[in-house]
Amino acid sequence: MSGRQLNYLQAIREAQFEEMTRDERVILMGEDITSNMFGTTDGFTEAFGTRRVRNTPISENIIVGAAAGAAMTGLRPIADLTIANFIYLAMDQFVNQVAKNRFMSAGQASLPVVYRAVLFYGGSNGAQHSDRPYPMFMGVPGLKVIAPTTPYDIKGMLKAAVRSDDPVICFEDSTLWMEKGEVPEEDYVVPLGRAAIRQPGDDVTVVAVAGAIRPTLAAAEELASDGVSVEVIDLRSLVPLDRTTILDSVSRTGRLVVVDPAHRTCSAASEISATVAEDAWGDLVAPIVRVTTPDVQVPVSPSLEADLYPTAQRIAAAIRRVLEPGAPRDSREAGTNGTAARPEAGNER
């Protein structure tokens, strides 16, 4: 690498700019795109003109459908949907059009389109702006779903998504926006469908989704001082899901904790846990534990919101639980005293 440091948003801007420079079929569209929304489109109108950088009506249904139609005519659109909650307004386009058109047209239609959406939680933005809806789209065949966590990965995976002939939804975690990391100046891509081992370990496997990577690494560092070796896997790609990396790790450690900022029920954590329970049951020496957000709406109050999401303390407690000798087969999260947490309404099942 070059040693050059970019933050998450700068890496997004650079990925889009480079792909639009590389391929004239790549266009950018969305609400207030020309106003440099979130700092990812500065200078685009001047560089590429209004034919390729298009402001759209404030209608996610129109944005998603227009981008799909443009992709079927041979363009390669990037559609910026800003906040992830807004994509609910375009569910019919996503589920019945974008995901199904290749199948319904017997392969005559190709949809090389990227939809960007920000996970805007953790900032007292209220329930209608703070969801983490990626699990919903994991269950829709025909869509690729990614959630990169580093500047290097968001640039490389976004470039790979633009070059893919499949529709890709890129969920970008706003809690990582100011994170800096090395990003090469030369062209590169990060293949979709591959997880990354952020920290090797031997005692327990922890799979982290999206912004959960930061508290997970903090918990792993805390436990290292106690002699616990934690393998931290950054999932990065939700669909395709890198089952091989997860299963290989669990086969060595025998223990699994999954950390996911989405709501607990039908979460990415649930799918990962089911995969390991089905395909690596014989390797497990302790119960699988999920550390997630309870099934409640997100409050505006900062003090109430902060405790909902996975924290380093909760993650460390979950790891200690699966390391207990003779731990019972109970997938509930560990409480602060090391015992199973009492189920709360809308949280534990």
Distance separating alpha carbons of residues 12 and 24, to the nearest angstrom: 18
Q: Which distant-in-sequence residues (6+ apart) come within 8 Å of 282 by Cβ?
A: none
Annotated catalytic residue 263: no
Distance separating alpha carbons of residues 215 and 296, to the nearest angstrom: 21
55-57-63 Cα angle (round to 5): 80
| Per-residue b or e along 131-162, where b marks 16 or more CB atoms closer than 10 Å to that residue's CB | bbbbbbbbebebbbbbbbbbbbbbbbbbbbbb
- Phi, psi torsion values for 61, nearest 5 degrees: -60, -45
Tokens for 274, please give them: 């089911």
The position carrying tokens 């470039």 is 159
The amino acid at 219: A
Q: How far is CA 180 from CA 31, 73, 115, 150, 159, in A?
A: 27, 37, 23, 8, 19
- Phi, psi torsion values for 232, nearest 5 degrees: -105, 120
Q: How far is CA 86 from CA 23, 126, 181, 339, in A?
A: 29, 13, 29, 39
The number of C-alpha atoms within 13 Å of 78 and in the hemisphere containing its C-beta is 31
Are the C-beta atoms of residues 160 and 192 closer than 8 Å to each other? yes
**Quick one: which H or E segment has residue 115?**
strand 114-119
Distance separating alpha carbons of residues 80 and 237, to the nearest angstrom: 19
Which listed residue (13, 129, 155, 264) is catalytic? Answer: 129
The residues assigned a catalytic role are 129
